[in-house]
Structure 1
Amino acid sequence: MKKEITRLDVGSVAMMYGAILATIGLVIGLFVAAFGSLFGSLINSEQSGMFVGGGIFMAILFPIMYGVLGLIAGALVAVIYNFLAGRIGGVKVYVRD
C-alpha cells in the first residue's frame, strides 16, 4: 500500500534531528578528548595540559553545539518540506498492513 507524507511536525523533526546530531557530537567530542589527552601526554612542555583540558572541553562543547545546530537545521528542513510538499507532493512511502 502506498501512502504519502504530506506534512511534518516541525517541533518533532527539530527535536529528533537535534538529538541525532548531539549524539554524533558526543562521539566526535570523545574522540577529540581521547586524542587530545594522548598527544598532550606525548608533549614535554608547559602547554601539554592545554591539549588535555581542550579535549575535555570539546567533549562537552561538541554535543551542545551539534545539538543546537541540529535543532535549527531540523526545523528549517521541516518548514521547507511542508512548503514544497503542498506544491509538488510529498514523499511516497510503501507500508504493509
Structure 2
Amino acid sequence: MAVIQRFGIVSVARINAAISLVIGLVLSVLWILFTGVTGVARGIDGGAIGSAAMHGAGGLVVIIFVTIVYAVVGFIAGALVALLYNVAAGWFGGIEMDLAD
C-alpha cells in the first residue's frame, strides 16, 4: 500500500483550474446556445429584432468571462482543497492506495 502524504498545492490548483476552464467553456457555450434559441423565439413572437450582432458580441464576452472566472475559481478551490488535505493528512495520515506495477 502506498500513502499519499501530501499534494503539491500549486500542481493541484493548476489541474483543477484547467478542468474548471473546460467546464466553464462548455457551460458558457451551452448557455449562449440556449439563450440564443429563446431569443429567436422571442423575436418570432414579436419581440425586438435587429440586435443579433449585439447578442453575438455579448455572447462572446460571456463565453470569455465565464471561462476565465471558472478557471480562477477552480485554481483557488484546488489550492484550498490541497492545502486542507495536507493539513488533514498530517493529523490523521494520508489516503492509502494500492498501486499496480
Tell whether the structures are fold-level matches, with TM greater than 0.5: yes
Q: Hey, what does 1:9 align to over in structure 2?
A: 8
1:29 and 1:90, CA in 2 relative to 1: closer, same or farther beyond 3 A? same
How far does residue 51 in structure 1 lie from its aligned partner after superposition? Answer: 4.9
Using the alignment, how far apart are the partners of 1:69 and 1:47 within structure 2? 36
How far does residue 71 in structure 1 lie from its aligned partner after superposition? Answer: 0.3
**Number of matched residues?**
96
- List gaps (5 residues or longer) in structure 1: none
Match of 1:77 among 67, 70, 81: 81
> CA-atom RMSD, angstroms?
1.8
Q: TM-score, normalised by structure 2?
A: 0.83
Q: State percent identity of aligned pairs.
A: 38
Bigger RCO (CA 8 Å, 6+ sep): 2
How far does residue 24 in structure 1 lie from its aligned partner after superposition? Answer: 0.4
How far does residue 52 in structure 1 lie from its aligned partner after superposition? Answer: 4.4
- List gaps (5 residues or longer) in structure 2: none
Using the alignment, how far apart are the partners of 1:73 and 1:80 within structure 2? 10
Moved beyond 6 Å, runs of 4+: none
Q: Hey, what does 1:27 align to over in structure 2?
A: 26
Q: TM-score, normalised by structure 1?
A: 0.87
